[in-house]
């Protein structure tokens, strides 16, 4: 299908996996509130298949999407996995039947979560597992993570995880973790209309660490910006595509994992990798 797209080129994730910068976030392949099965299971499977056909080789997921729904869909749809596919999962939360999210960050819970993800994804070794640092606030704040990170390093030494990443963190978390081991990637909320983490993007770039923004399309808050609309109209593109193109041009260490439950949106998002924003358009978006 999209054999003209470059998928944004490649990036050596964790120094080991040559992933396309345009990846896919699996969280939307669920029911409302990221709980239960998606309304259209067949379409969800087609989304995963279409991502593979397009050459995407980086998928973000977690047992806590559904819970288990997305990992089950990935396993059922994509096994046997293509050799270059890098499935990145995450631990640190648990779900309750009211669709609630709760921290699950004790050593025992982290060990169990890694084993559960290995089982659900049917992978002996998980390529990358993000330690998702829990906070009730929308914006993360610092609290020590040494104990949790050391548990992840133990699981790495045990051969269950190849690399460890961090999610929902501040710079002090990254610095603390880097005193203990290496960090494959940082996954935080970030995008053209949400630039709180500009310094963290730079810090990661300076250390050769991938920055993988979640909510690249605004997440639960649909993108609304006159500047985005204006640039999109100039390019004959959608505001979503401009938001993704902006991220690809923002820094070479940024990898995209936009989420969608629809093949049409997936194709639109993939095509964004071929959009080049001019200096003037970047200036318009720098507000």
Among all residues, which ones are annotated catalytic? 65
Closest CA to 92 of 125, 133, 120: 133
Task: Tell me whether residue 151 or residue 261 sits nearer to ligand NAP (CB atom).
Answer: 261
Question: C-beta of 28: minimal distance to ligand NAP in Å?
Answer: 4
Separation CA 147–CA 151 (nearest Å): 6
User: Which residue stretches of 158-278 are H helix?
Assistant: 171-180, 198-206, 226-235, 239-250, 263-271
Q: Which residues contact 191 (CB under 8 A, 6 or more apart)?
A: 213, 215, 216, 217, 218, 223, 243, 246, 247
Task: Tell me whether residue 95 or residue 240 sits nearer to ligand NAP (CB atom).
Answer: 240
Would you tell me how many other CB atoms lie within 10 Å of the CB of residue 196? 12
- Return the residue of 30, 57, 151, 269 that touches ligand NAP, per CB under 6 A: 269
- Return the residue of 58, 95, 118, 132 that touches ligand NAP, per CB under 6 A: 132
Is residue 23 at the binding interface for ligand NAP, with CB under 6 A as the rule? no
CA angle 176, 138, 102 (to 5 degrees): 80
Separation CA 41–CA 38 (nearest Å): 6
- Return the residue of 21, 253, 258, 271 that touches ligand NAP, per CB under 6 A: 258
* Interface positions, 190-219, toward ligand NAP (CB under 6 A): 214-219
CA angle 118, 41, 128 (to 5 degrees): 25
Is residue 2 at the binding interface for ligand NAP, with CB under 6 A as the rule? no
Question: C-beta of 85: minimal distance to ligand NAP in Å?
Answer: 15
Is residue 259 at the binding interface for ligand NAP, with CB under 6 A as the rule? yes
Tell the residue number behind the tokens 């989420």, with chain if given: 259
* Interface positions, 88-107, toward ligand NAP (CB under 6 A): 90
Is residue 168 at the binding interface for ligand NAP, with CB under 6 A as the rule? yes
* Interface positions, 222-251, toward ligand NAP (CB under 6 A): 240
List residues near ligand NAP by CB under 6 A. 25-28, 60, 90, 132, 167-168, 187, 214-219, 240, 257-262, 265, 268-269
């Amino acid at each position: 299908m999209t054999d003209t797209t470059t998928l944004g080129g490649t990036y050596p994730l964790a120094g080991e996996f040559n992933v396309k910068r345009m990846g896919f976030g699996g969280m939307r392949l669920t029911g409302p509130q990221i709980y239960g099965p998606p309304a259209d299971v067949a379409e969800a499977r087609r989304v995963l298949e279409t991502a593979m056909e397009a050459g995407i080789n980086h998928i973000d997921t977690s047992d806590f999407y559904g819970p288990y729904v997305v990992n089950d869909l990935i396993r059922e749809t994509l096994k046997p996995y293509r050799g270059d596919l890098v499935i990145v999962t995450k631990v640190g939360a648990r779900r309750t039947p009211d669709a609630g999210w709760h921290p699950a960050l004790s050593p025992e819970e982290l060990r169990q979560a890694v084993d559960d993800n290995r089982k659900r994804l049917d992978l002996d070794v998980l390529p990358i597992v993000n330690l998702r640092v829990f906070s009730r606030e929308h914006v993360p704040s610092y609290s020590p993570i040494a104990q949790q990170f050391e548990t992840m390093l133990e699981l790495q030494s045990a051969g269950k995880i190849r690399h460890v990443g961090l999610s929902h963190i501040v710079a002090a978390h990254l610095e603390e973790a880097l005193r203990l081991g290496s960090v494959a990637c940082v996954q935080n909320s970030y995008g053209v209309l949400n630039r709180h983490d500009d310094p963290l993007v730079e810090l990661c770039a300076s250390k050769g660490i991938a920055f993988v923004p979640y909510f690249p399309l605004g997440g639960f808050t649909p993108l609304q910006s006159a500047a985005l609309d204006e640039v999109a109209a100039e390019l004959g593109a959608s505001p979503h595509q401009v938001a993704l193109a902006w991220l690809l041009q923002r820094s070479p260490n940024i990898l995209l994992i936009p989420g969608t439950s629809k093949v049409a949106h997936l194709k639109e998002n993939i095509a964004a990798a071929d959009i080049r924003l001019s200096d003037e358009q970047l200036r318009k978006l720098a507000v």
